Amino acid sequence: MAVHLKRAYEPASPADGKRYLVDRLWPRGVRREDLRLDAWLKELAPSTELRRWFGHDPARWQEFRQRYQEELRRPEAASVLARLAREAKDETVTLVFGAKDVRHNDAVVLKETIEEAARA
């Protein structure tokens, strides 16, 4: 099983496998063709309200994680998560995100959730 995280500002690589943008907003200054995405999974991104509330404030990280995990239980997100978990069992999946903070962002929570689902 392989789920990787990669900032949108890093170059794509064949080792990335399937590449999915998991942010609701397109990364600033990045051309679509440069990302070489397999899909843009907006339905997995945190809601606009949650994203704005969090504001990438590390002091809000734990609560953000809990709220975002609740959002990921919505039916429209759960079906996409299940598909990604199946893919991750057999091939490399890379979650692409735009945040500067590589430890406190939605892709980190999403990676953990996919890995957990793939092990189940």
Q: Answer for the pair 46, 68: CB distance below 8 angstroms, yes or no.
A: yes
Q: What is the pLDDT of residues 27-48, one digit of tens each?
A: 999 999 999 999 999 999 999 9
Whole-number pLDDT of residue 114: 95
What range defines the domain where residue 8 resides? 2-119
Q: Are strands 2-7 and 92-97 parallel, antiparallel or unpaired?
A: parallel
- Answer yes or no: is pLDDT of 66 > 80: yes
The alpha carbon of residue 54 and the mean position of all alpha carbons in its chain are separated, in whole angstroms, by 16
| Residues 63-100 as b or e (16 or more Cβ within 10 Å = b) | ebbebbeebbeeeebeebbeebbebbeeebbbbbbbbe
Q: How confident is the model at residue 120 (pLDDT cuts 50, 70, 90)?
A: confident
Distance, in Å, from the CA atom of 99 to the CA atom of 27, rounded to the nearest integer, reads: 8
> What SS3 class is residue 45?
coil
Q: How confident is the model at residue 65 (pLDDT cuts 50, 70, 90)?
A: very high
| Contact partners, residue 4, CB within 8 Å, separation at least 6 | 16, 17, 92, 93, 94, 95, 111
How many domains does the chain fold into?
1
Distance, in Å, from the CA atom of 70 to the CA atom of 57, rounded to the nearest integer, reads: 19
Q: How confident is the model at residue 63 (pLDDT cuts 50, 70, 90)?
A: very high
